[in-house]
Structure 1
Amino acid sequence: MDPDIALFVDVVQAGSLAGGARAWRLSPAMVSKRIARLEARLGIRLLHRTTRRLTLTETGAAFHAEVAPLIAGLRVAERRVTHRDGEPAGPFRVTAPTSLGRIWVAPYLSGFLARYPALRLSLDLTDDFADVMGERVDLAIRITAAPPNGLAAHRFAVNRRVLCASPSYLERAGTPVSIAALAGHQLLAAKGQLPWRLTGATVAGESLIETNSSEVVREMALAGAGIALRSLWDVADSLADGRLVRILPRYEGSVAVGIFGLYAPVGAPAAVPALIAHLEAVWRDAAWMT
């Protein structure tokens, strides 16, 4: 299958260079360059391009009518011979936040991979936001209040965040009885997490430690260093066994923040909905999902 011809067919199907770029996880500039390369090779003009619209030339329309059914047939044949006709298979790249991925994604992948043995899964754990299109990521699990435009977004759950501290810290420093009282306490937060925007209040201040790791914040809270605002998926077990204590329970992190699965709106592999369904199933009974 000629990749430039296949790209041309998908650009026409999407109705724009940007739409074709999303489907192929390329930049619009790269798509334009490859279409121009195809035109140069064929010695014909296939598309009229403007900033607002894309139309086929007469020759381009005739060429599209010839090649589109061929590309569709080749794709069907490829799926059949590689057992990918609706079945997740092939390379599959996933990214997730470091802590969430380590605690709530990685331990549940064994069953998923056993169900789809033809998958070649790559899992990147990072607290940076990967560029789904630019970095050819198939599924990005992110914690955010505003999923980026141009991506399909599946909301798994509200990312509930609560104020908590260890019993040893509260015994030493006292338990705050109001939001204002937090000004007299040691706060723990990773870079960019302060101020804390809570339901009905905002807490400003500086973290006791400067770190880019949320896991460091959790470990320091467990060690008695101060008060942290932590996601329930991260500390539910510690709250249940008493290693951490929730404080000021009427205040939580903003309910606008959610856990999302983000993926290309066009051309996402079958593994994307399959993994989303798998994670929803294994997370369903978790305490932090309620």
Structure 2
Amino acid sequence: MTLDPDHALFVAIVDAGSIAAAGRAHGLSPAAVSKRLARLEARLGARLVERTTRRLHPTAAGAQLHADLTHILAALAAAEARVGGAAAVPSGRLRVAAPTSFGRLHIAPHLGGFLGHHPAIAFELLLSDAYVDLAAERIDCAIRITDRVPPGLTARRLATNRRVVCASPVYLAAAGVPTTPDDLARHRLLAADGQLPWRLLTPGRRALIEGASAVRTNSSEVVRELALGGVGVALRSLWDVGEPLRDGRLVRVLPAWEGPHDLGILAIHGPQPSAAVTAFVDHLATRLHAASWEALDFTTGEAQHCNN
């Protein structure tokens, strides 16, 4: 495929979400941009964008083409910088998606230092517990807690994701302390939509905890607050409940059992990341490597002590 000016213009259209905005960036009228978009669609034999009353969205074919072209343009820019002997300076728009609670607790606090070092980056942070399609949402980098990398993308593992069963001392004093996974069937479970059933592991054994959440919610942050409020028992990541476990507002239940260790905290992006993406991932990896949640000491404060 030969890269021509229509390719770069198409990328600008999708990035801006508007034909008029792309035209302004390229010094073209909206009519000229529309004509060139139609010419590209005709040449490829596929509709690339859908127009709504509010903004423009790529079709499935358009999203794939946008992702491919973005990688090609980034590679070309990097190649030119190398030939010119200039290092790529992180700059331009950087759109990052992350889970709500993780973004608030472990990304937002580090943005000041990152932007202080890279003032030419226009940073956008999208927080959502829903699955975010990188191409459709024009996301440059997604932070996900997962064990899967979508086809055509690449990932860097930033940290592990230990998950433990926990509850507040107030809840356990009233409802009793589970001593086996089977005991959880008699307790109020707390989980966001899609987070049940739970799989729990201990050396040589595994358990499947089924049931429904005592409160239905699509928010993991709400689940943590419900656990802190004494509503029930939750399976939570240590990055999420490390502080409440450390100060005693929550205690571990079934301390010999944990969620599987297959999930990791990943930074997912295209195979040819921009200088801005690389700088952000490097910055976050350094901060998360020093995170304290994996070093928590649970030799005290376990649920067995709640009845004392």
Q: Is the 8 A contact 1:283 1:289 kept in 2?
A: no
223, 227, 231: which one aligns with 2:233: 227
Q: Which residue of 1 aligns with 2:184?
A: 182
- Kindly indicate whether residue 203 of structure 2 is the aligned counterpart of residue 197 of structure 1: no
264, 270, 275: which one aligns with 1:258: 264
Q: Which residue of 1 aligns with 2:23?
A: none
> SS at 1:229's partner residue?
strand
**5+ residue gaps, structure 2:** 11-36, 46-74, 296-308
Structure-2 change in CA distance of 1:254 and 1:72 (3 Å):
closer
Q: Percent identity?
A: 51
- Kindly indicate whether residue 272 of structure 2 is the aligned counterpart of residue 278 of structure 1: no
Letter in structure 1 aligned against 2:286: A
Q: Which residue of 2 aligns with 1:135?
A: 137
| Distance (Å, rounded) in 2 between the aligned partners of 1:33 and 1:204 | 55
- When the two structures are superposed, what TM-score results if normalisation uses the length of structure 2? 0.69
| Distance (Å, rounded) in 2 between the aligned partners of 1:259 and 1:246 | 22
Q: Which residue of 2 aligns with 1:237?
A: 243
Structure-2 change in CA distance of 1:147 and 1:73 (3 Å):
closer
Q: Which residue of 1 aligns with 2:95?
A: 93
Q: Is the 8 A contact 1:105 1:279 kept in 2?
A: yes
Q: Is the 8 A contact 1:133 1:264 kept in 2?
A: no
> SS at 2:193's partner residue?
coil
Q: Is the 8 A contact 2:98 2:127 kept in 1?
A: yes
| Distance (Å, rounded) in 1 between the aligned partners of 2:180 and 2:39 | 60
| Distance (Å, rounded) in 2 between the aligned partners of 1:156 and 1:195 | 26
Q: Which residue of 2 aligns with 1:17?
A: none
Q: Is the 8 A contact 1:169 1:225 kept in 2?
A: yes
> SS at 2:108's partner residue?
helix
Q: Which residue of 2 aligns with 1:23?
A: none
Q: Is the 8 A contact 2:159 2:289 kept in 1?
A: no
| Distance (Å, rounded) in 2 between the aligned partners of 1:238 and 1:94 | 28
Deviation (angstroms), 1:249: 1.4
Letter in structure 1 aligned against 2:146: T
Structure-2 change in CA distance of 1:33 and 1:151 (3 Å):
farther
- When the two structures are superposed, what TM-score results if normalisation uses the length of structure 1? 0.73
> SS at 1:237's partner residue?
helix
> SS at 2:216's partner residue?
coil
| 1:149-187 Cα deviation digits (max 9, x unpaired) | 211011112211100000001100111000000011111
Structure-2 change in CA distance of 1:33 and 1:232 (3 Å):
farther
| Distance (Å, rounded) in 1 between the aligned partners of 2:293 and 2:261 | 13
| Distance (Å, rounded) in 2 between the aligned partners of 1:219 and 1:33 | 54
| Distance (Å, rounded) in 2 between the aligned partners of 1:283 and 1:144 | 16
1:3-22 alignment runs, 5 A limit: 3-4=5-6
Deviation (angstroms), 1:135: 2.1
| 1:27-74 Cα deviation digits (max 9, x unpaired) | xxxx997375499xxxxxxxxxxxxxxxxxxxxxxxxxxxxxxx9699
**Could you say what the CA RMSD is over the residues aligned between the two structures, in angstroms?**
3.0
Q: Is the 8 A contact 2:157 2:266 kept in 1?
A: yes
| Distance (Å, rounded) in 2 between the aligned partners of 1:289 and 1:164 | 16
Q: Which residue of 1 aligns with 2:292?
A: 287
Deviation (angstroms), 1:2: 5.4
| Distance (Å, rounded) in 1 between the aligned partners of 2:278 and 2:89 | 11
- Kindly indicate whether residue 232 of structure 2 is the aligned counterpart of residue 218 of structure 1: no
| Distance (Å, rounded) in 2 between the aligned partners of 1:33 and 1:226 | 59
Q: Is the 8 A contact 1:164 1:246 kept in 2?
A: yes
> SS at 2:242's partner residue?
helix
Q: Is the 8 A contact 1:189 1:217 kept in 2?
A: yes
Q: Is the 8 A contact 1:186 1:227 kept in 2?
A: yes
132, 156, 169: which one aligns with 1:154: 156
Structure 1 stretch 276-285 or stretch 230-239: which is displaced more?
Answer: 276-285
> SS at 1:207's partner residue?
coil
> SS at 1:193's partner residue?
coil
| Distance (Å, rounded) in 2 between the aligned partners of 1:74 and 1:275 | 17
Equivalent pairs counted in the alignment come to 233
| 1:10-43 Cα deviation digits (max 9, x unpaired) | xxxxxxxxxxxxxxxxxxxxx997375499xxxx
Structure-2 change in CA distance of 1:2 and 1:250 (3 Å):
same
Q: Is the 8 A contact 1:132 1:264 kept in 2?
A: no
